[in-house]
A and B are shown apart, each in its own frame.
Chain A
Amino acid sequence: MGSDNPAEKALILHRTRLSNPNFIFTHFSNSPDTNYSKLKFIISSSVTEACNNSVLLLGPRGCGKAAVLELVLDDLLKEYPDMITTIKLNGLLHSDDKCALKEIARQLCAEHQLSFSKVASFDDNNQFMIDILRECGLAHKTVIFVLDEFDLFAQGKQRLLYSLLDAMQSVSSQAVVVGISCRLDADQLLEKRVRSRFSHRKLLFLPPSAEDLQGLIKHMLLLPTDSSISDDYTTEFNARLLKLLEDGRCKDIIDTLSTSDSTFNHLIRFIAVCHMDMNLGFLTLENFKAALTGVQRQPKLECLKDCSILELYILVCMMRLEFREQESYNFNTMMKEYSSIRDSFKTCDYYARNVCLRAFEHLLQRELISLVDSRGHTQSLEFHPVKLLVSAPELHLGLKSNRCCPAILQKIIDRG
């Protein structure tokens, strides 16, 4: 129990870090060249100099645009506690102008402890927003509008965007408009009037590069030296982790991880699946390997491992039919293919038609094949067009991993 305590404490610390969605982005708060510091500079200079500004955050999904903005706003709220009001809108919920103005009015009322009336009309809400902007301008408070899914606000007549950006053209208001979008051409979607009023500032958020990935893993997993965990455990853990990360095989694992999906969430999921062995108390290469296979699961492969030989034959026949570009095929065509294989390759696996039909139904139930359209059940099963739900590489892997797969099948599928 005593020797487990530091490992358990380390585990709890790691889990706390992983559950906080914004923690991984604090890695970027120190260097001056990152988007975090640029965004902080833009917004804080608008707050201190009392001028209006607008900025657009672009980048693929899962690259931390909303998270970095939240970190920046938290920092600014700590620095200037009374000078900032934040209004958050989302393009999926509030793209209609009436809804959006109502939501703005409601949030402003909540911030300033006024009572919000649900029956206020569009004009009333509009007037209220303009009045509050003017009041905040006089009191030197900045209102920050955060527009999530900015490209959805740019549909239709863009009245909300126009009225927000137009209000920023006057001296009396002090506002910052931050748009978040995953479309790279979001500013081309704006009308020319709105685009003219929108400043051209864009911050591009990119998924982490290979060196960044190393740095991020260290940031998430290295134990801090001033925590309640014992010092020698901490130093040993950190030393082992650093040595592990230098290993070439570990770098290969991380590269494989990022070939299909290199966003931050993917990395977090990978780290979350790394199970540290409690008895040993440190992370090893086997943990990383196990996590990689855990993340890149192939459920169909596990199904294929348990298939019977006849089912494998049926799958191989259908794969051959697909290779021959046959548009649609059904059970009967498949049986013809099966008999032609039997004739050409002289196999001894001969099964009767009704047994094949039973295997066919099994495959349907396990969803390795499926009916092309599920209507028209009046037809009997044999005439129904079907399609394969496993791809060729998956089938190859499945055949290799199946213990009772006859070697002839491998030859057939390689030939075909």
Chain B
Amino acid sequence: MPTIVDRSLSSAAAEVQPNVNASPQKRMLRSDTAKQSSPMKLKSPRRFMVDSPNSPATRVKTELAEKLTIKTPVKKLSDSFLDKPVWNPTDVNQLSAVKEALHVSTEQPTVVCREDEQKKILEFCKQCVKHEKAGSLYVCGLPGTGKSLSMDKIKGCLIDWTQEEGLQQPDVLTLNCTSLTNTADIFTKILTSCQPQKKTRGPTSPLKQIQNSYSQKQQSPGMRMMLIIADELDYLITKDRSVLHELFLLTTKPFSRCILIGIANAIDLADRFLPKLQSLNCKPMVVTFRAYSKDQIIKIIQQRLKVLPYMVFQPQALEFCARKVASASGDMRKALGICRSAIEILEAEIIETKCDINFSAIDNGFSEQPTAAACEIPKMHENNVVRMDHMAVALSKAYRSPVVETIQSLPQHQQIILCSAVKLFRRGKKDTTIGELNKFYMDVCKSTQIPPIGIVELSSMCRVLSDQGILKLGQSREEKLRRVALKIDEADITFALQGVRYFRNCLQ
């Protein structure tokens, strides 16, 4: 049963918006969409009363809603979802509340779906503080997976825990390595925060000062531990990797008091850039924040929407969005952005229908106005949630590239240049000179009786196209010998130009 649901959902999604691609490629091969057949046949024997017009997509949706209520974990959430009243998008307060709930910067009380990772890191920090031992940890993961957000929460939890246990509260230094002009400035920052009263200038460099203080036994016992959280650690990578090494080696000093947590995107940063640490047996512990899966994305969005007393999204629309984002990158920021733009699309649609209703009411005359308005209201009520088609439009806007429209709107001669480039590159060679391109271009022009432009104009048009990222031009002393290559997919050009009969025949 679940497999049928999956298949029908994905092909329904494909039918609703055939241009949305499931793979993480940014470019969609338009030639594939031409091969798609007519709408799929439903495999379920059940027949439903279809109240809203026609498409098999709505039938699949209602089918899906039934099937969703059978599945257990999703059932609870979708049920609680469907219990809430529908929101009113024309109310400005509600609109701004929803947008705020979905904004990336809105603070959340808890960070869901990251409990395991947070527990691991918190345990590590607690051990270090309890035993007054230094240690290093490396947090890695793709962008938008909740690393910095979790670290903020962990900071707060650690401080609360130390207060409860009666231990000394550690100093916390959070810094973003992009804000350092010099990579070695990180040591100055560490020094100023652990010894704020002492002068940082002097004959010895800040690094040496820290190393000295960590190598000697402390005069005053019970000095505070220091928690250093370094965000975007790969900005510290220099050619000789000395800064990164020294930073992690600080934790190996005999009397070191720092707990170092580094955050970056690369999984193997520790292996690739810190090989010496392996030999010194102080490799940092690695905690990986995996990309969000579809269920996690749904859970996070629903948790954000729980604060609102009304229902905003149709559950299928949320699932559609989560599925697409999870298969592309698993980036939570993108999912939230797409939800917000789906809301804006709904807003625009409602404004348009309101204008239409006003016009039709004026047309129908005053006597019919109440009935017209009355039958519009229940329709609007049902239409107020964000549906699959809004989400499909938002997803296609997020994932499509503007290449096809731009090619279609290019002036005629530039289109002919692209067409001749495609024909030339079909022969096997992937780049050529402007002189060769000119010859092909003149042939193409001769067959259409369009007067060709000279080679000087041609090369300036090639420069315009390369400015836009469509062609790639090389350097040469002679204009004729500059190398030209195509930067976009040949199938995109074929798809874009298929509206013109001449190009269609030419590019077959």
Which positions in A face B, CB cutoff 8 Å?
Answer: 32, 41, 45, 49, 51-52, 58-61, 121-123, 126, 157, 159, 162-163, 166, 168-171, 182-186, 188, 192-193, 195-197, 199-202, 204, 206-207, 209, 258-262, 390-391, 393-394
Contact = CB atoms under 8 A, between A and B. Distances in A.
B396 to A, nearest CB: 11
A208 to B, nearest CB: 9
B468 A201 contact: no
A299 to B, nearest CB: 12
Contact of A169 (B105, B178, B454): B105
B397 interface: yes
A32 B61 CA distance: 31
Contacts of A60: 406, 410, 464, 467-468
Given A183-B467, A204-B402, A204-B405, A393 B452 contact: yes
A132 B118 CA distance: 33
Contact of B107 (A59, A171, A195, A394): A171
Contacts of A59: 406
Nearest to A193: B143
A260 B331 contact: no
Given A60-B410, A182-B468, 13 more contacts: A49-B99, A61-B467, A159-B178, A169-B105, A183-B467, A185-B469, A192-B142, A196-B333, A199-B337, A200-B338, A200-B341, A206-B406, A260-B413
Interface in B442-462: 451-457
B334 interface: yes
7 contacts: A45-B344, A51-B105, A163-B179, A184-B468, A259-B411, A259-B413, A260-B411
A58 B105 CA distance: 26
A123 B182 CA distance: 10
A260 B453 contact: yes
A163 B178 contact: yes
Contact of A262 (B405, B411, B469): B411
A259 B452 CA distance: 11
Contacts of B470: 184
Nearest to A204: B402
Nearest to A185: B469
Contacts of B464: 60-61
The winner among A49, A52, A200 for most chain B CB atoms within 10 A is: A200
B141 to A, nearest CB: 11
The interface size bin for chain B is 35 or more
Contacts of B344: 41, 45
Interface in B343-367: 344, 352
Given A183-B468, A184-B401, A207 B181 contact: no
A48 B327 CA distance: 34
B18 interface: no
Given A60-B468, A391-B455, A258 B401 contact: no
Given A51-B99, A60-B464, A258-B411, A394 B454 contact: yes
B406 A193 contact: no
A382 to B, nearest CB: 23
B403 interface: yes
B245 interface: no
Contacts of B452: 393
Interface of B: 26, 96, 99-100, 103-107, 142-144, 176, 178-179, 181, 232, 235, 265, 329, 331, 333-334, 337-338, 341, 344, 352, 397-399, 401-403, 405-406, 409-413, 451-457, 464, 467-470, 487
Given A168-B105, A169-B105, A200 B451 contact: no
- With most chain B CB atoms within 10 A of its CB, the pick from A32, A185, A186, A262 is A185
B380 to A, nearest CB: 20
Contacts of A185: 401, 469, 487
Which of A157, A169, A261, A391 lies at the interface centre, i.e. has the most chain B CB atoms within 10 A of its CB?
Answer: A391
A207 B333 contact: no
B39 to A, nearest CB: 28
Contacts of B409: 206-207, 209, 262
B397 A192 contact: no
Given A196-B143, A196-B334, A184 B469 contact: yes
A393 B451 CA distance: 8
Nearest to A126: B179
Nearest to A197: B333
Nearest to A189: B469
Contacts of A200: 334, 337-338, 341, 397-399
A121 to B, nearest CB: 8
A202 B476 CA distance: 34
A38 B243 CA distance: 47
Contacts of B468: 60, 182-184
A391 B402 contact: no
A32 B347 CA distance: 13
B347 to A, nearest CB: 9
B26 A188 contact: yes
B53 to A, nearest CB: 24
A126 B337 CA distance: 27
Contacts of B265: 192-193
A260 B144 CA distance: 45
A324 B105 CA distance: 68
A169 B235 contact: no
A49 B101 CA distance: 12
Contacts of A122: 181
